[in-house]
Amino acid sequence: MKRFCSILSLLILCTPFIAFGQSGLTYAPESTIVVDGKSNQSDWKVNALEFSGEVSLESGTPIAATLVIPVVGMKGGRSMIMDRLMRGAFKADENPTLSFKMGKADAINANTFDVHGALTMAGVTNPVTIRLTSSKNPAGSFVFTGNLDLNMKDYEMEPPSAMFGALLTKPEVNIAFNLILK
C-alpha cells in the first residue's frame, strides 16, 4: 500500500508536466528544410539533409528550441560545383554549422506563432522572427511549418558566382520549414 501511494503521488505531481509540457522533442527524419534562391540563369534549391536540435512545448506552444545544420549536410542536387560554391559562401571551413536558438514565441492564435531568436550563419548572428503554424499529423506528432526570407549579405556572405561571373546568385533567399517533432 505504501508503494502504491508513492507511485500515485508521483503520478499526481508529474501529471501537469505530462499534460502541459513536453521537453526534449527532436526533429523527425521526415522533417524538411529547403532553401530557395534565384540566379541570373535560373531558380535553385538546396535541401538540408542533416539537422538536429531540440524543442520544448507547453500546451502546444514552443517555449524553447534549437536547430543546428551542418553546412556539409546541405545539398543542391544539381552539381558538386554548386555545393562547393555554397560551402564557400557559408565559409564552412571556419563555420561548419548554421544554428538557430529560440528566445521566445508570441502566440498569434491557437496554431500560429511568431518565434523570435538568433540565427547564426557564416559566423554572423542576427535576430530573426519566424512565423510558424502548428498542426498535428495523423500519428499525433506536432508539425511546425513556416518560412523565412533572408539576405545573404546580412550575414556577410558573398552570393556565389561561377563561369567568370556569367552566373550570379541573387542574395535574397527563402528558407521553408516543415518540422515534425518526435
pLDDT digits (tens, 9 = 90+) for 60-87: 899 999 999 999 999 987 778 778 888 9
CB 67 within 8 A of CB 99: yes
β-pairing verdict for 142-151 and 161-162? unpaired
Q: What is the pLDDT of residue 174?
A: 96
DSSP state of 110: T
Domain borders along the chain are: 21-180
* pLDDT over threshold 50, residue 169: yes
Q: Centre a 10 Å sphere on the Cβ of residue 102 and count the other Cβ atoms it contains.
A: 19
Dist CA 120 CA 157 (whole Å): 12
Give the residue, 137 or 168, on which the prediction is more confident.
137
Among residues 121, 128, 131, 65, the alpha carbon closest in space to that of 94 is found at: 121
Express each pLDDT in 138-160 by its tens digit.
Answer: 999 999 999 999 999 999 998 87
* pLDDT over threshold 90, residue 21: no
What amino acid occupies position 27?
Answer: Y
* pLDDT over threshold 60, residue 3: no
Q: What is the pLDDT of residue 135?
A: 96
Domain 21-180 sits in CATH at 2.40.128.110
Where residue 42 falls among pLDDT bands split at 50, 70, 90? confident
What amino acid occupies position 60?
Answer: G
Q: What is the pLDDT of residue 8?
A: 33
Q: What is the pTM of this model?
A: 0.83
100, three cell numbers: 538557430
3-state secondary structure of 60: coil
Q: What's the longest Cα–Cα distance across the chain? A: 80
* pLDDT over threshold 50, residue 10: no
- Mean pLDDT for the stretch of residues 102-118: 96
What is the phi/psi pair of residue 5, to 5°? -65, -40
CB 55 within 8 A of CB 65: yes
